[in-house]
Structure 1
Amino acid sequence: MLRNLADVYRFQDEYAEAASFYSEALQIAIDLSDESGRASSIFGLAETHRLQYKYDEATKLYSECLQIYTNTGSKRERATALWGLAEVHRKKDEFTEAKKLYSEALQIYTDVGDRRERAVTLWGLAEVHRFQDEYNEAINVYSEALQIYTDIGDHQERANTLWSLANVHRLQQEYSEARKLYSESLQVYTDIADRRGRGTAIWGLAEVHRSLHEYNEATKLYSEAMQIFTDIGDNYWRAETLMSLASTNQEQGHSGEAISLYTEASEVWEEIGYSGPASDALENAADIRKTLQQTVAHSAEALKVGEDLLLTSE
């Protein structure tokens, strides 16, 4: 009962409450020497930490989970723990390890005939291919996952996969196809009341408009996405959207606004432990300041030359 309640809170993105109930359920399972209940509670805690980008703690918990399921011979549950570890490695850009773990989980899900979890794992593998710029392979694997989700009627994951396919097409500058797929995912997210998903689909559409230099429409959509991410407390996507808005302003020559947005993005990245992107954001802001200073210096130099010429002519 406690684990079920914790699951509900986790699915509602209420992570503090979820962690509290998982921890309570874990203690009861330990007291009763219930290894299955212990593993399930640990897995729930691992998921909660992963979704909050606390990857070190998530890795520790998934590994503990994996050991229990390996000891008890629970194949499907072992695959789930492998998948969780693969997700963490993917998020940390450790793609070789992620690919290995996804492949191991995929083999188990294929062996036990679990189509849904097979699709979830295929999606993760496709993400690895995408991040490694292996776009054709990514499209093939996403499409395989999409077909399974369509067949089994899983609207949530179907929308996620449509969004991912849209991303690949956008990265290949196939903007018409990207727009179509983002719009399709947006409709599904809206239908199932997934606010985060809706925000990411709107962000994707904004990215397409920015790539096409349609800045007014892009800014409008980024702002709509930003409001959603702020409302639900998703700082990762808030930072991503701040970066996109900063780039949009930079491309239009709105230097002051771009600097402000990059600085704000850096602060949010730091809050959630993303030191790399935080540093990149500050570097972008510094580059704009440097360009502005050079422009001012060149203007002052040109003005001085003009004044000297004027004095000479007199």
Structure 2
Amino acid sequence: MYASAEFAQVDEWLIAERENLLAIIDAASPTAETAELARLLAPALWGLGWWSDAHRLYDRALQAARHIGDQRAEAYALLELGRIDQIGGFYGAARTGFRLARRIAVAVGDPRCQAEALCELGQTAWRIGDHGDAERFYTKALRMACDIDYPPAECDARNGLGHVERLACNYAAATEHFRRSWAIAIGAGDRARAASALWGHAEVVRRLGDNGTARQNYTDALRTARQINHPKIEGDALRGLAHVARLAEDWDSARRYYEDALEIACHIRDRHGEVWSLWGLGHVQRNAGRFEEARQRFSDAYDIAIEINLALAQEEILRGIGHLERQLGNYDAARRRYVDSLRDADRINNRHGRADVLRSLGHVAADTGYLSEACTALAEAGGIYESIGVPLADRVRAEMRAMGCPPPNL
């Protein structure tokens, strides 16, 4: 997992001195120097798996800033505390902190902090499925970042807008945002942001069926993440490689990648990554015929997705359970899960997800002898795929021909 002997030596030292460092900061007076030491130590301990220690240190930095009356430092401490809350899936607490950071930044006249807070509010919104709010926050952040010539926030805003457009199935717009985000990061020598943009672009092209480019982008992001010792991006990239392997039916590789991604997610308390890794392992186990293990993986993923309000994950997990029920011949249960998934897809306006569920409902209808219903569902699914530029439209047409459906008007 670690990029070099130097990182390993630093990690060993931190592990050995962790309790002493925490005790020193706890005993220190609430000064600017104490706040800075807490801020520097927090991400290092988070990367080693001590999420609670990192949260405690960011809170210590916040309290110190408030004690000395440094509002600017308070705003940045709120951003950092919100980010660690966001990783842990505490989106409500994160949003509250980001909003307060933005208000303080406005009051003290710090547009850079305002732009960063807007980006983080956008990140929280798209994670929980509030794509309209996410777009508004990111657009405001982008405009402000460009006005004040602040590349980090411009990079983050474009990255965020890439994800918003991806989830809205506007894949060309998403690709352009990720391309420009990557270019800004490369120009600034910011390897973490460059890797994040590569990962986002891979998420787009994978949905368009370009698994070769997706695999290369995920691999490049993984290499960078390991070189700079960034476990969050490392886990995201591993999970992306697992998705590509699963689509290629390389199930052994998919399992290994998902398991490695899950280990990292649990280690750094990345709840979002944990959900999607469990979801992927559910599909791996389903393919292997280990149906009870698959059901448990899906159930664990769904429980977390409900707990932290991950709307897209809920939709995808329900569809995964529907696939499992269909494999077992439980067609009524499969149909119920698919209908629930369709409701969630419509709630967050996920057209690609709607098409996927309609296709699955068409398969269940065909399996149970309802040919007309199957043809109707598949025709709508194919039409959506065609409209968003996804090559699955051709496959749907072939399925309809095999069933003897009337030619669809795609």
User: Under TM normalisation by the shorter chain, which class is it?
Assistant: 0.7 to 0.9
Paired AA for residue 140 in structure 2: E
Over 3 Å counting, the alpha-carbon distance change for 1:202 and 1:137 in structure 2 is same
Match of 2:291 among 175, 184, 188: 175
Deviation at 1:69, TM superposition (A): 1.4
Structure 1 unaligned spans of 5+: 292-314
C-alpha separation in 1, matches of 2:279 and 2:339: 19
Cα offset, 1:144, TM superposition = 0.7
What is the CA distance between 1:271 and its match in structure 2?
Answer: 4.0
Task: Out of 119-128 and 94-103, give the one that drifted further.
Answer: 94-103
Change in Cα spacing, 1:188 to 1:221, as seen in structure 2 (3 Å) is: same
* Corresponding residue for residue 289 of structure 1: 404
Percent of aligned pairs sharing the same letter: 26
Query: Does 1:71 find its partner at 2:187?
Result: yes
Cα distance in 2 between the residues matched to 1:211 and 1:272: 29
Q: Where does 1:67-216 land on structure 2 (aligned, <5 Å)?
A: 67-216=183-332
Question: SS of the residue aligned with 1:173?
Answer: coil
Q: Which amino acid aligns with 2:320?
A: G
Deviation at 1:142, TM superposition (A): 0.7
**Partner Cα distance (1:191, 1:277) in 2:** 33
Distance in 1 (CA, whole Å) between partners of 2:264 and 2:332 is 38
What amino acid is the match of 1:150? C
2:408 is aligned with 1:280: no
RMSD across aligned C-alpha pairs, in angstroms?
A: 2.2
Summarize the Cα distance change of 1:147–1:6 in structure 2 as closer, same or farther, 3 Å threshold.
closer
C-alpha deviation, 1:57, in angstroms: 2.0
Distance 1:196 1:25 in 2: 24
- How far residue 86 of structure 1 moved from its aligned partner, in angstroms, is 2.2
Q: Deviations over 1:160-215 (max 9, x none)?
A: 11110111222233323222211221222222232332232222122111112121
Q: What is the CA-CA distance between 1:130 and the residue it aligns to?
A: 1.2
Deviates more, 1:17-26 or 1:256-265: 17-26
Structure having the higher Rg: 1
Checking the alignment, whether the CA contact within 8 Å between 2:385 and 2:393 is kept in structure 1 is: yes
CA distance in 2, matches of 1:31, 1:290: 55
SS of 2:169's equivalent? coil
C-alpha distance in structure 1 between counterparts of 2:273 and 2:311, whole Å? 14
Secondary structure in 1 matching 2:273: helix
Confirm whether residue 246 of structure 1 aligns to residue 359 of structure 2. Answer: no
SS at match of 2:166: helix
* Aligned-partner Cα distance in 1 for 2:405–2:355: 23
Distance change >3 Å, CA 233–CA 88, structure 1 → 2: closer
In 2, Cα distance between the equivalents of 1:100 and 1:290?
Answer: 39
Deviation at 1:283, TM superposition (A): 4.1
**One of 352, 367, 376 as aligned partner of 1:260:** 376
Q: Is 1:50 matched up with 2:156? A: no
1:286 shift after superposition: 4.1
Q: Report the residue type matching 1:114 in the other structure.
A: H
Q: Could you tell which deviates more after superposition, 236-245 or 137-146?
A: 236-245
Stretches of structure 2 lacking an aligned partner (at least 5 in a row):
1-113
- Going from structure 1 to structure 2, the CA distance change for 1:28 and 1:206 (only over 3 Å counts) comes to closer
Contact 2:128 2:309 in 1 (8 A): no
Residue deviations 1:49-102 (CA, integer Å, cap 9, x gap): 222222222222222222221121112112112222222232222222222221
Q: What is the alpha-carbon distance in structure 2 between the residues aligned to residue 248 and residue 226 of structure 1?
A: 14
Q: CA deviation at 1:273?
A: 3.3
SS of equivalent residue, structure 2 residue 404: helix
Q: Which digits, 9 at most, give the CA deviation of each residue in 1:211-246, with x for residues without a partner?
A: 121212212222222222223322222211111111
Q: Which has the higher contact order (CA 8 A, sep 6+)?
A: 2
Structure 1-normalised TM-score? Answer: 0.84
Q: 1:197 to 1:82 in 2, by over 3 A?
A: closer
Mean Cα deviation higher: 19-28 or 211-220: 19-28
The alpha-carbon distance between structure 1 residues 282 and 97, as it changes in their structure 2 partners (threshold 3 A), is closer
The letter for the 1-side match of 2:395 is D
Aligned residues: 290
Please, which moves more after superposition, 127-136 or 219-228?
219-228
* 3-state SS, counterpart of residue 209 of structure 2: coil
Q: Which amino acid letter does the alignment assign opposite residue 80 of structure 1?
A: S
